[in-house]
Chains A and B, each alone.
Chain A
Amino acid sequence: MMWISYHSKKGGRRLRIRIGIDIGSTHTDAVALEGKELIVADKVMTTPDLTTGLLNAISKVMEKLGERKNEVDTLMIGTTHGLNALHQGKGLNRVAIIRIGLPAGEGVPPVFDWPEQLASFVTYKYMVRGGHEYTGEEIVEMDEDKIRKIAEDIGGKVDAIAISSIFSVVNSSHEIRAKEILREKGINVPIVLSHEIGGIGLLERENSAILNALILKIFENLINKIKQLLSSLGIENVKLFFAQNDGTVASEDFIKNYPIFTVAGPVSNSIRGAHLLTGIKDAIVMDVGGTTTNVGVLHEGYPRESSSVVEIAKIRTNFRMPDIYTMALGGGTIVNKEKIGPESVGYALINKGIAWGGDTLTATDVAMIVKGITIDGTNPQLIINKFPPEYLLSIYTNMVGMWEDAIDLMKTSKDDVTVIVVGGGSIMVPEKLKGAMEVIRPQNAQYANAIGATLTKVGATMERTFSYDQITRENAIKSLIDEAKSLAIKAGALHTTIEVREIEEMQIPYLPGNSVKVKVKVVGEFS
């Protein structure tokens, strides 16, 4: 059943309008929804700086809304601004890292294995005595004097500071105290604490905190530009949200402090969008774009998270990222003899594709003939004139095989699963796939990402380790839920609507005291 439609609602009570924007590699999609109803959809070209395209998309959708633009209540954005800046090494903050953990931790100093270009932005590196054991006891007392000296050292010389401490996921007091001292000493740049960013694994959590510190300015600028645009359009009181890696969104105030949580927002959005468009909670989602197909898993309405190490710009992190398999097969993928991809014509499909009068055989051309798809402004006869049908069929069979292999790779059991296909290239996917119980292509599938960003909830995830010999299981989980809830409220959730989505407990081998890693995820409605 589709509950998103172009038909106007009965009863006529107008709801506030939400705008959702998804910045893809070729297009920036924008939708406006009234309640769950899609009222405007549009797309513009993505620009190299991302921001120009984003602002264009906002302007365009506002223009289409006409007078109703004043009813716009919230603006949700899924963007890879952070990721791009890290990849390009441009516009980043100068960061100081303070690791609290000596005499432990010296064996691998901060930023040790980073690519040189990014490491060059981390201009001050310190290691200080302190940190905790897995039990929460101090390794040694923290060296507060050293922190005071550091404040004198770096005052006025850095744009942001990251602080990490050993086992801060069990006891965060040293990180918090270090920040207090820096503030007492007059340091007024943003200070990122690792326990607020990542889970277990000191290097990965510390890296994540530094990456976050590096891109703070980028998001501050981005938010300012969006606000200027809105105010130049005469629109006030629009709440701004950003899509997070885990398929939820968070408010601008939150993302201003934790922009790193947005790096995988766009891929998560397509999975959430597939859920919101179909109502299905568990499925494999294939997002077929211009150059790639991203395959992810929808689990209980949210993206399944990856269990392997996540690298961002070649740096190990421990982010909760969606488990995504990406392959080079999209609408613009170039077919050369028996070879499918990995090259793609991308957004030049409408110039280069055979059906458009171009000279490059693309995956879309192949699918058009075999599946009998009609696309505005194309002439399928041009394809038939050039390529024999049995050749096109054999290529298409191989394309289908690639999708089927990807589904198989992402499944968690032998049983057939529901497959939801979204994205601009989803029309190429057949109605039947091996391993799929059914293949569903929802209405508005091409806007799944933007819709996903618009309709999702505010969320927060926390991860800590506990010893159930020292704290009861009940109290441990409760304290973690409370922590996650207060984080969700910071991220813009209405406290009365917050519910627990997921509790994951993992026993830790080799440690006594019934040691367990617990992860809690909560979501809530916008406040």
Chain B
Amino acid sequence: METYFIEERDLQNLVTGASFLGTGGGGDPYIGGLMLKRELELVKKIEVITGTKYSNSKSFVLGSAMMGAPIVMIEKIPNSSEAKKALEVYSKFTGNEVEYITPLEMGGVNSTIPLITSAKTGIPVIDGDGMGRAFPELQMTTFYFYGVQPSPIVIFDERGNVSIVQGIDGYWSEKIARVITVRYGGSAYIALYGTSLSTYLNTAVLGTLSLALEIGELLNQMRLDDVLDLLKAMIMFKGKVVDVQRRVEKGFSKGNVIIDGIENISKQTMKIDFQNEFLVARINNNIVTTVPDLITVLDLFTLKPITTDRIKYGQKVMVIGIPSSVRLRSKEALRYIGPRAFGYDVDFIPLEERWKKVEN
């Protein structure tokens, strides 16, 4: 496998790129970024394994993440070694020696936690994740859609409490893990989705960590065209936010944003629905993009990604549509993360096909 290293100078690019792929959600990466900065001051660099060649397909890969409420994390800041300890307990419990660490999602704080775990353990991070973006629940990963169970899940807190959840499926694992997380005080650090490297490579969305870094670097240099080329993405809309509706429903932050077009599309209106992440975009009431394809909103001038909780009236924005990984678009995947899984009575149509229709 090929290797590269993440160093302190990559931090800003990582945060920007992960926010871009976070599609408006994934939580504030600020604390995660600071924690990672501190680790990098100590270890200087973190090893990332990338590429498609691998030495031992039986090598064991384990996911590392934070679970819970972002608002708890900004108050009860981790001590930084919880995720490492969760990994150690996992190893002991299952007898597997962990050789690679994988992120579960790209976006917000969970793009930095696996790197912190790596800095603490010396185990390299693998260049990929289970979402290729951010989603709100544990079972919403490609690992799960293609047959890997999240269980056993080791759930660890800063005091040292350990729970091990063995759910019968992803749904129950999520449900039980969330109750435990709440009992811990609203945030926990988890080790889960342990599997062999060969299975991992067949189920993960690969290359996303280096992709986030590349996107971040290009965006920070204001090279949006190169980002669009890289992702086969497109600018769907440019305009001004003229209305934002928000509510909390069943624990999720839901709402929508209305954007009036500018320049040559001044008579058009875009509406984007969100539930933590941006889910469905419409132009003049016609759907143009849905989950799992990515909808990212950027500040028109600075090209900085805007999160769903920070978007507000008056912002001039650019809405980008990004085709999701093929692994998010299969029938198995769409059952869990297609528009119907989020309550929309429509089929998923890839955005490149929808736009072909728009253009014809």
Contacts and interface: CB of A to CB of B under 8 A. Distances in A.
B160 A103 contact: yes
Contacts of A307: 310, 312
B31 interface: yes
B199 interface: no
A202 interface: yes
Contact of B248 (A113, A134, A414, A507): A507
Contacts of B313: 411-413
Q: With a 10 A CB-CB cut-off, give which of A104, A140, A307, A511 has the most chain B CB atoms.
A: A104
A510 B34 contact: no
B26 to A, nearest CB: 12
Nearest to A413: B313
A134 B252 contact: no
A104 B68 contact: no
Interface string B30-65: 010011011000000000000000000000000000
Contact of B37 (A101, A113, A137, A509): A113
A204 B34 CA distance: 13
A104 B108 CA distance: 20
Interface in B250-277: 251-253, 276
Nearest to B243: A413
A135 B35 contact: no
Contacts of B312: 307, 412
Contacts of A408: 314
B77 interface: yes
A190 interface: no
B242 A134 contact: no
B199 to A, nearest CB: 30
Contacts of B31: 107-108, 203
B248 A508 contact: yes
Contact of A410 (B34, B38, B251, B314): B314
Interface string A395-426: 00000000000001111111000000000000
A137 B186 CA distance: 12
A512 interface: yes
B74 A202 contact: yes
Given A134-B185, A508-B248, A511-B251, A202 B69 contact: no
Contacts, number: 121
B276 A509 contact: yes
Interface string B67-83: 01111101111111000
A408 to B, nearest CB: 6
B7 interface: no
B159 A511 contact: no
A497 interface: no
B38 A308 contact: no
Given A412-B313, A512-B182, A167 B76 contact: yes
A139 interface: yes
B34 A113 contact: yes
B79 A106 contact: yes
B158 A103 contact: yes
Given A203-B31, A308-B310, A510 B76 contact: no
A102 B79 contact: yes
Contacts of A204: 74
Contacts of B116: 107
A133 B76 contact: yes
A104 B71 contact: no
B251 A509 contact: yes
Provide the main secondary structure of the chain A interface: loop
Given A133-B186, A414-B242, A104 B158 contact: yes
Contact of B78 (A104, A169, A465): A104
A6 interface: no
Contact of B159 (A103, A109, A113, A202): A103
A89 interface: no
Contacts of B34: 107-108, 112-113, 203
A512 B184 CA distance: 12
Contacts of B158: 103-104, 139
Interface string B171-213: 0000000000010011000000000000000000000000000
Interface in A77-102: 101-102
B27 to A, nearest CB: 9
A410 B72 CA distance: 30
Contacts of B37: 112-113
A101 B77 contact: yes
Given A101-B76, A166-B75, A414-B242, A112 B38 contact: yes
Interface in A276-327: 307-308
A358 interface: no
A509 B35 contact: no
A139 B69 contact: no
Contact of A203 (B69, B77, B160, B276): B77
A413 B245 CA distance: 12
A200 interface: yes
A105 B71 contact: no
A259 interface: no
B74 A200 contact: yes
A201 interface: yes
A104 B312 CA distance: 33
B80 A107 contact: yes
Interface in B70-98: 70-72, 74-80
A131 interface: yes
A32 to B, nearest CB: 39
Contact of A510 (B69, B80, B243): B69
A112 B42 CA distance: 14
Contacts of A105: 76-79
Which residue, of B76, B80, B160, has the highest number of chain A Cβ atoms within 10 A?
B76
B75 A201 contact: yes
A411 B242 CA distance: 10
A166 B31 CA distance: 15
A102 B78 CA distance: 9
Contacts of B38: 107-109, 112
Contacts of A409: 314
A202 B76 contact: yes
B76 A166 contact: yes
A518 to B, nearest CB: 14
A112 B36 CA distance: 12
Contacts of B243: 413
A204 B186 CA distance: 20
A99 B41 CA distance: 22
Closest 8 CB pairs of A and B: A107-B80, A510-B69, A106-B79, A507-B248, A133-B185, A104-B158, A509-B253, A107-B35
23 contacts: A103-B158, A103-B160, A105-B76, A105-B78, A107-B31, A107-B35, A131-B76, A134-B72, A139-B76, A139-B158, A166-B75, A169-B75, A203-B31, A203-B34, A409-B314, A412-B312, A413-B242, A413-B243, A507-B248, A509-B253, A510-B68, A510-B71, A511-B72
Given A135-B185, A139-B76, 15 more contacts: A105-B77, A106-B77, A106-B80, A107-B35, A108-B35, A112-B34, A112-B38, A133-B76, A137-B185, A412-B313, A413-B243, A414-B242, A509-B248, A511-B182, A511-B186
Interface of A: 101-109, 112-113, 131, 133-135, 137, 139-140, 166-167, 169, 200-204, 307-308, 408-414, 465, 507-512, 517
